[in-house]
Amino acid sequence: MSGTEDNPVHPKTYLAAVASSTYEVIGEVFAECERQDRKWGEQNHSPSRWFTILGEEFGEVAKETVGITFAHPWSTNYRTELTHTAAVAIRMIEAYDRRLKKDLNRRLKKDLKR
Protein backbone atom coordinates (compact mmCIF):
# COMPACT_ATOMS: atom_id res chain seq x y z
CA MET A 1 0.00 0.00 0.00
CA SER A 2 1.74 3.09 -1.20
CA GLY A 3 0.23 6.53 -1.48
CA THR A 4 1.01 8.55 -4.56
CA GLU A 5 -0.68 11.47 -6.25
CA ASP A 6 -2.21 9.00 -8.71
CA ASN A 7 -3.12 6.42 -6.09
CA PRO A 8 -3.59 8.02 -2.67
CA VAL A 9 -3.98 5.90 0.43
CA HIS A 10 -6.82 7.03 2.63
CA PRO A 11 -5.78 7.74 6.23
CA LYS A 12 -8.30 5.13 7.51
CA THR A 13 -6.69 2.47 5.31
CA TYR A 14 -3.22 3.42 6.49
CA LEU A 15 -4.32 3.48 10.13
CA ALA A 16 -5.51 -0.11 9.84
CA ALA A 17 -1.99 -1.15 8.81
CA VAL A 18 -0.26 0.57 11.72
CA ALA A 19 0.70 -1.59 14.69
CA SER A 20 -0.42 -0.32 18.05
CA SER A 21 2.10 -2.05 20.30
CA THR A 22 5.67 -3.26 20.45
CA TYR A 23 4.39 -6.84 20.39
CA GLU A 24 2.58 -6.25 17.13
CA VAL A 25 5.67 -4.68 15.58
CA ILE A 26 7.82 -7.60 16.75
CA GLY A 27 5.18 -9.95 15.35
CA GLU A 28 5.48 -8.22 11.97
CA VAL A 29 9.27 -8.53 12.09
CA PHE A 30 8.99 -12.21 13.04
CA ALA A 31 6.59 -12.79 10.14
CA GLU A 32 9.15 -11.15 7.83
CA CYS A 33 11.87 -13.43 9.26
CA GLU A 34 9.69 -16.43 8.43
CA ARG A 35 9.03 -15.09 4.93
CA GLN A 36 12.77 -14.70 4.38
CA ASP A 37 13.36 -18.25 5.64
CA ARG A 38 10.81 -19.63 3.17
CA LYS A 39 12.44 -17.67 0.38
CA TRP A 40 16.13 -18.34 1.11
CA GLY A 41 16.33 -20.93 3.90
CA GLU A 42 18.77 -20.58 6.75
CA GLN A 43 21.44 -18.04 5.86
CA ASN A 44 24.95 -18.31 7.28
CA HIS A 45 26.83 -15.51 5.60
CA SER A 46 30.07 -13.98 6.78
CA PRO A 47 29.71 -10.81 8.87
CA SER A 48 30.89 -8.71 5.92
CA ARG A 49 28.27 -10.24 3.61
CA TRP A 50 25.57 -9.66 6.24
CA PHE A 51 26.69 -6.07 6.53
CA THR A 52 26.25 -5.66 2.78
CA ILE A 53 22.72 -7.07 2.96
CA LEU A 54 21.86 -4.85 5.93
CA GLY A 55 23.31 -1.85 4.09
CA GLU A 56 21.07 -2.56 1.10
CA GLU A 57 18.02 -2.70 3.35
CA PHE A 58 19.08 0.47 5.14
CA GLY A 59 19.42 2.15 1.75
CA GLU A 60 15.81 1.20 0.99
CA VAL A 61 14.75 2.83 4.27
CA ALA A 62 16.68 5.97 3.30
CA LYS A 63 14.96 6.05 -0.09
CA GLU A 64 11.53 5.66 1.50
CA THR A 65 12.38 8.34 4.08
CA VAL A 66 12.83 10.82 1.27
CA GLY A 67 9.56 9.62 -0.22
CA ILE A 68 7.48 10.07 2.92
CA THR A 69 9.15 13.38 3.69
CA PHE A 70 8.69 15.03 0.32
CA ALA A 71 6.19 13.09 -1.76
CA HIS A 72 4.05 10.34 -0.27
CA PRO A 73 3.40 10.75 3.47
CA TRP A 74 0.89 7.86 3.48
CA SER A 75 3.27 5.28 2.02
CA THR A 76 3.56 2.02 3.91
CA ASN A 77 6.72 1.17 1.96
CA TYR A 78 8.65 2.97 4.70
CA ARG A 79 7.26 0.59 7.34
CA THR A 80 7.85 -2.39 5.07
CA GLU A 81 11.51 -1.48 4.57
CA LEU A 82 11.98 -0.88 8.30
CA THR A 83 10.52 -4.33 8.93
CA HIS A 84 12.88 -5.87 6.35
CA THR A 85 15.84 -4.11 7.97
CA ALA A 86 14.89 -5.32 11.45
CA ALA A 87 14.44 -8.89 10.18
CA VAL A 88 17.85 -8.85 8.51
CA ALA A 89 19.45 -7.56 11.74
CA ILE A 90 17.83 -10.42 13.67
CA ARG A 91 19.04 -12.95 11.12
CA MET A 92 22.53 -11.46 11.40
CA ILE A 93 22.51 -12.07 15.16
CA GLU A 94 21.25 -15.62 14.71
CA ALA A 95 23.90 -16.39 12.08
CA TYR A 96 26.60 -14.93 14.32
CA ASP A 97 25.39 -17.04 17.25
CA ARG A 98 25.40 -20.21 15.11
CA ARG A 99 28.91 -19.41 13.91
CA LEU A 100 30.12 -18.70 17.44
CA LYS A 101 28.51 -21.88 18.80
CA LYS A 102 30.08 -23.93 16.02
CA ASP A 103 33.52 -22.41 16.69
CA LEU A 104 33.21 -22.92 20.45
CA ASN A 105 32.14 -26.55 20.01
CA ARG A 106 35.09 -27.14 17.68
CA ARG A 107 37.40 -25.60 20.27
CA LEU A 108 35.94 -27.74 23.05
CA LYS A 109 36.37 -30.93 21.03
CA LYS A 110 39.96 -29.97 20.34
CA ASP A 111 40.58 -29.34 24.05
CA LEU A 112 38.97 -32.68 25.02
CA LYS A 113 41.35 -34.54 22.69
CA ARG A 114 44.35 -33.17 24.54
Closest CA to 8 of 70, 65, 72: 72
DSSP string, 25-77: HHHHHHHHHHHHHHHH-S----HHHHHHHHHHHHHHHHHHHHHHHHT-TT-SH
Length of the chain: 114
- Is pLDDT above 60 for 2? no
- Evaluate if pTM is beyond 0.85: no
| Domain residue extents for the chain | 11-113
Average pLDDT over residues 102-114: 86
The total of other beta-carbon atoms located within 10 Å of residue 56's CB is: 12
Kindly report, residue by residue over 11-59, the tens digit of the pLDDT: 666 666 666 788 889 999 999 999 999 999 999 999 999 999 999 999 9
Kindly report, residue by residue over 48-76, the tens digit of the pLDDT: 999 999 999 999 999 999 989 988 777 77
Task: Answer for the pair 66, 86: CB distance below 8 angstroms, yes or no.
Answer: no
Q: What is the DSSP letter of 92?
A: H
CATH class of 11-113: mainly alpha
Average pLDDT over residues 79-93: 96
